[in-house]
């Protein structure tokens, strides 16, 4: 069993604002992240898959294929988008946690089709904050 | 003469969309950056000032003071904001070039008051793109 | 279960010198790290906590709160300090290993009070050396 | 139990070309990585070992010794080499996966001799691709 | 006048070996870099252009266009190649200095066609070594 | 004319404390940097030299030689030292500015002996602060 990771990235706008709450409660909880006109981030996404090494290729999976899947099924949907407004199926609160789970749910069946197992989604919102989800 | 640089950062939403143009022309020129609901970035800002070294302190300027000025006069205005909607005086096109010039115009007189000379604004929009402005 | 990590940093002096040993044994074991007048590092600290996602916020914990706890209870005590002389409760040998365990012991009950579980302290002494402690 | 990691690096040429396959199949699978005259990388290698902290030193292992072992037994063999041609015992397919396993097999007994346990080999081929092997 | 920089990268094999010299002289001068079977690097390339800001776009040049030119005219030629064997017009000694000048000579007329001025080629061979060429 | 840069690093303790001033004035000016028992940093040092490319080697200077000079004449003197106590000739105030000038004065004649010209000393005290000195 060996683990291989591919890094991709996307840039998106979002805000953290719970519509069931008052503006005061939103500001008290989310601070500047609740700014009504949004803010944004350069997100760095690390996708880790695991499996056995194919002796013919030396690969767990072909990283070109993994990169293509991530770009087609994740980046294309999130890059240069507003996570609150533009992304079908995104939870109301597009926190880093929820975006990571959203990405896991997309990629988990795709990685299975490639003959490997999705191990981890690691998502950086800034250099100082990241989330890891293992399913 | 010696040069000292302080790094700060801010996260903001923006879009590149010229309202004098058709949507077609905007998309052809700006591509995904024209997405009507905005996208965003983690901006890294490097402010370089120059001057003589004060023999009592070993400093060109006190970096605590420079950091405070940048935070009060620049970061406070741009961080967790929408550059198209929330920032008074920002040009209609908040490209990295125009944001860097905007920051220069704020900081240039402030650095003079500190007894030094503003040398350069360097602004990263992503790890792959940055702008430098020398006035 | 999801994992979220916050990065903070502190700058400190230290030396590795076992007072129960001769100077020769100290130099043979610790080399330049035993320099009697200390040396120092920029330490990067990554604190990982785990828990369930709160559906109202999208958060495991509020990172503003986690950051405040780390700054108040760890950084305030270690930043711009001499780890051998200035820090109450620090082991005699302030190796990266022992500093990481020291930080774990401070943060573990604090994270519990926040309703989450401390998962890992990861501490970089330099770009080339880091320690991980899981309790 | 605590984990400590040392980073080292080496620069090497390689190609991914299965001699049992046709050139067409190699190109279809490996793309540019199959270029017959090789290409190359700056590899970053992170070696993680685990063990108890020695109370006399504050160390799991002395990082100077770990660094020396990695340099003598791994870097000396791989640095500024052609992984397909110059390295005895390297698999025919010097993929990042296989190079990581190759390094594990060298270091596992050496770390045991140092009184610790090899936990992980993490090998970056580029900033966007890395492999982890846990034995 | 404002300066904008785009980062691209390529991976290549090379060796430093002067065919007019003896093997001894090559080894004495270039050390491990003279390894006859080549070694390789992940090269990071920063291309800086300067010009006035177009008020309609906020751009000196459209970075999508600059990126396309770099990829088509430089990366396509150098990526996953052997700099000594595969690149027409490359000097016999593919040092970082000579590769940077080679790239300048390709991009200088192309940037002129885009209505801007090429200011600098900055080329990293490793994290510890880089070259800058200003024409 | 081409510019080449070599990165080295050293770890050191220091404090900013002007002995001609009261403790109050020191604390007001230098804040935590005046801590009497010192603190420390991982310093990153970038040395840039310029000259013509030697057609036989492709080099401005041999980076192995430049690295050796920096290590012998700078790093050996500053690494794992207390800049206030252990370094002969260091100004009383070991600010980043003064350390950069100190390094320039050592390396300037040495680079001349190598047949090149010292262009710049760039010294990072932290990821957020750096100084550049051009003589």
F92 to chain E nearest CA, in Å? 30
Q: 3-class DSSP state for residue B116?
A: coil
Does C37 sit within 8 Å of F42, measured CB to CB? no
Nearest to F41 by CA among F94, F108, F101, F103: F94
- Identify the three-state secondary structure at position D32: helix
Q: What integer pLDDT is reported at residue B25 of this predicted model?
A: 98
The one catalytic residue in E8, E33, E97, E119 is: E33
pLDDT digits (tens, 9 = 90+) for B29-81: 999 999 999 999 999 999 999 999 999 999 999 999 999 999 999 999 999 99
- What does the alpha-carbon distance between residue B121 and residue B41 come to, in Å, rounded to a whole number? 17
Q: Which residue ranges of chain A lie beneath pLDDT 50?
A: none
Report pLDDT digits (tens) over C14-32.
999 999 999 999 999 999 9
Q: Which domains, from first to last, does chain B contain?
A: 2-133 (3.30.479.10)
- Asked if B41 lies within 8 A of A37 by C-beta distance, the reply is no
B39 labelled catalytic: no
Q: Which stretches within C44-133 are classed as H helix?
A: 63-70, 76-78, 96-113
Q: Closest partner residue to B95 among E7, E48, E59, by Cβ?
A: E59
Mean pLDDT calculated for residue range B97-115: 98
Residue of F nearest to C125 (CA): F42
Inter-CA distances, C15 with A5, B121, C40, F14, F83, Å:
37, 39, 8, 13, 14
Tell me the C-alpha distance between D56 and D53, whole Å: 9
Specify the DSSP element, H or E, that contains F48.
Answer: strand F39-51
Exposure b/e, F14-29, CB count within 10 A at least 16 = b: bbbbbeebeeeebeeb
CA C43 to chain centre: 8
3-state secondary structure of B9: strand
| Weakly modelled stretches of chain F, pLDDT under 50 | none
Which position among B80, B97, B113, B119 bears the catalytic label? B80
Touch test F–E: 3 Cβ pairs or more under 8 Å: yes
Residues of A in contact with B42 (CB under 8 A): 41-42, 126-127
Q: Which tens digits make up the pLDDT trace of F58-83? A: 999 999 999 999 999 999 999 999 99
Q: What is the pLDDT of residues E40-53, one digit of tens each?
A: 999 999 999 999 99
Which residues of chain D make contact with E35, given a CB cutoff of 8 A?
80-82, 86
- B103: which 2 tokens? 């920051």
Contacts of D128 (CB under 8 A, 6+ apart): A6, A7, A8
Q: Number of B:F CB contacts under 8 A?
A: 56
pLDDT of residue D1: 95
Choose the catalytic residue: E9, E39, E76, E80: E80
E33 is catalytic: yes
What's the average model confidence in pLDDT over E55-75? 98
Contacts of C32 in chain F (CB under 8 A): 79-80
F8 catalytic residue (yes or no): no
| DSSP letter for each residue of F74-134 | IIHHHTTEETTTS-TT--SS--HHHHHHHHHHHHHHHHHHTTSEEEEEEEEEETTEEEEE-
DSSP string covering B38-89: -EEEEEEEEEEEEEPPBTTTTBSS-HHHHHHHHIIIIIHHHTTEETTTS-TT
The tens-digit pLDDT sequence of chain D (135 residues) is 999 999 999 999 999 999 999 999 999 999 999 999 999 999 999 999 999 999 999 999 999 999 999 999 999 999 999 999 999 999 999 999 999 999 999 999 999 999 999 999 999 999 999 999 999
Report which of A50, A43, A39, A42 is spatially closest to residue A15, judged by C-alpha positions: A39
This prediction's pTM: 0.98
For residue C40, the model assigns a pLDDT of 98
The complex scores an ipTM of 0.96
D128 — alpha (psi -120 to 50), left (phi > 0) or beta? alpha
- Residue B87, pLDDT score: 98
């Amino acid at each position: 069993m060996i683990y291989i990771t591919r890094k991709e990235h996307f840039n998106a706008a979002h805000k953290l604002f719970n519509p069931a709450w008052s503006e005061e409660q939103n500001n008290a909880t989310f601070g500047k992240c609740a700014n009504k006109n949004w803010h944004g981030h350069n997100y760095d996404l690390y996708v880790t898959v695991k499996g056995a090494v194919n002796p013919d290729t030396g690969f767990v999976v072909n990283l070109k294929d993994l990169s293509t899947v991530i770009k087609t099924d994740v980046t294309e949907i999130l890059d240069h988008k507003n996570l609150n407004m533009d992304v079908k199926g995104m939870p109301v609160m597009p926190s880093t946690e929820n975006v990571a789970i959203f990405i896991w749910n997309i990629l988990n069946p795709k990685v299975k089709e490639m003959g490997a197992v999705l191990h981890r989604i690691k998502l950086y919102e800034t250099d100082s904050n990241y989330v890891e989800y293992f399913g």
